[in-house]
Amino acid sequence: MLVGIMSDSHGDARATARAVSLLESRGAERLFHCGDICGEQVLDELAGHHCVFVWGNCDRPAATARRYVEHLGLAWPAHPQHATISGKRIGVYHGHERDFCTAASEYALDYLFYGHTHAYSDQMKKGCRLINPGALYRARIRTVALLDLETNRLVFLQIENGKEVPLIRAATVRQR
């Protein structure tokens, strides 16, 4: 199964729409958004898709937001999310949460998807693959990630043109 991963929309609904379209055109059957939604227009772009999302440190959902999210057919993310898909245990975080650093081992995850840094990355840590798809806003190159859960193949894609982006070594990625 192919899954699409995105993060850090910061209210940019057009970038989110391009990301959703690109990931689905490449065969993604499920979508994950790793937080910093920052607007109902971004939620509108996620509606109608099999999507799991989490809130980020810039999200401040109003009391009425829960009704809106559920009206769109999306699940309300009270906390970081955990799912099992194709036998793989997946955690979805933004990256600012208190238990983020221990989540991979604490929940025996195969994959941990996260955002927050606005820099795409792929790392292994104690048997868990940590994937940051990059950002849809305030990033030099706006990227998403496409992961094949059967083969473990991961590609990063530029949302403007759909081209694959080579992975930069973690030591050279500038953290924000």
Mean pLDDT by 10 residues, the chain (176 residues): 98 98 97 97 96 95 90 92 95 92 88 96 93 95 97 96 79 41
> Degrees (nearest 5) of the Cα angle 174, 118, 149?
110
Q: So where are the chain's domains?
A: 2-172
Q: Which pLDDT tens digit goes with each residue over 46-83?
A: 999 999 999 999 999 888 899 999 999 999 998 899 99
Q: Give, as one character, the DSSP assignment of residue 96.
A: -
> Degrees (nearest 5) of the Cα angle 119, 124, 127?
145
CB-side neighbour CA atoms (13 Å) of 11: 6
Contacts of 162 (CB under 8 A, 6+ apart): 22, 25, 26
Alpha-carbon distance of 152 to 98, in angstroms, equals: 28
What is each CA distance from 79 to 35, 55, 58, 135, in whole angstroms? 11, 8, 15, 21
pLDDT of amino acid 168: 66
Predicted TM-score (pTM) of this structure: 0.92
CATH number for region 2-172:
3.60.21.10
